[in-house]
Chain A
Amino acid sequence: QKEVEQDPGPLSVPEGAIVSLNCTYSNSAFQYFMWYRQYSRKGPELLMYTYSSGNKEDGRFTAQVDKSSKYISLFIRDSQPSDSATYLCAMSANFGNEKLTFGTGTRLTIIP
């Protein structure tokens, strides 16, 4: 069993819809949680990072962590065609110099 599980999709939703992307994990030592967005033929770009449980909001994006369930989510409100990308969750026990454990990514397409 992988340490981090992420549904690969693909996921297609109409423009303006709310998108929910999720990851589950098994390592209870993970405390730092990140979401990266990767456009085709580009490197992953950091979207958001959170520490421990709770919510964090940045514009149309909300990251949610439930450590008791070992479950993290990324919500995208008012989705736009420019949000079409692969979304990767990543996590670690420490920050900065700790290696990250990644999900395999969810491919998202927003249909105009």
Chain B
Amino acid sequence: DVKVTQSSRYLVKRTGEKVFLECVQDMDHENMFWYRQDPGLGLRLIYFSYDVKMKEKGDIPEGYSVSREKKERFSLILESASTNQTSMYLCASSSQGTSNQPQHFGDGTRLSIL
């Protein structure tokens, strides 16, 4: 089974702090994604990556950056946290090529910015 692990389930930070959310997958997947999930808005894509050191903007990248130094790890960075970034953050991964599979998700990090 695919395992996508997010480092924290719950996180509380203050406005202006730099926040790091970590995600690790154990299936050697090429693709990794970061979403945020808000009531009434569903899942919205922040950033994604198809390969190490690669990144692409999603639908709502403003205020965020990402890092992918190793294939199994994809980090989301809130450069200067603001209260409107309070949300559930979900990481996902998927494979490419002949074994294409849909995205598999971690259990999320519920982030509160005070």
**What's the A-B contact tally at a CB cutoff of 8 Å?**
57
CB atoms of B96 and A99 under 8 A apart: no
Shortest CB–CB separation between residue B27 and chain A, in angstroms? 13
In chain B, residues 10-67, which have Cβ atoms closer than 8 Å to a Cβ of chain A? 30-31, 33, 40-43, 45, 48, 50, 58
In chain A, residues 5-42, which have Cβ atoms closer than 8 Å to a Cβ of chain B? 6, 8, 32, 34, 36, 41-42
Most B CB atoms within 10 A — which of A41, A45, A96?
A96
Q: State the CA gap A36–B42 with chains docked (Å).
A: 12
A-facing mask of B86-100, CB < 8 A → 1, else 0? 000010001111001
CB atoms of B58 and A99 under 8 A apart: yes
CB atoms of A97 and B42 under 8 A apart: no
Residue B107 is within 8 A (CB to CB) of chain A in the complex: yes
CB atoms of B58 and A95 under 8 A apart: no
Q: State the CA gap A41–B50 with chains docked (Å).
A: 28
Residue B68 is within 8 A (CB to CB) of chain A in the complex: no
Name the interface size band of chain B: 20 to 34
- CB within 8 Å of B: which residues of A? 6, 8, 32, 34, 36, 41-46, 49, 88, 90, 95-97, 99-100, 102-105
Q: In chain A, what residue has the closest Cβ to B42?
A: A104
CB atoms of B42 and A44 under 8 A apart: no
Q: In chain A, what residue has the closest Cβ to B31?
A: A97
CB atoms of A44 and B41 under 8 A apart: no
CB contacts (< 8 Å) of B31 on chain A: these are: 96-97
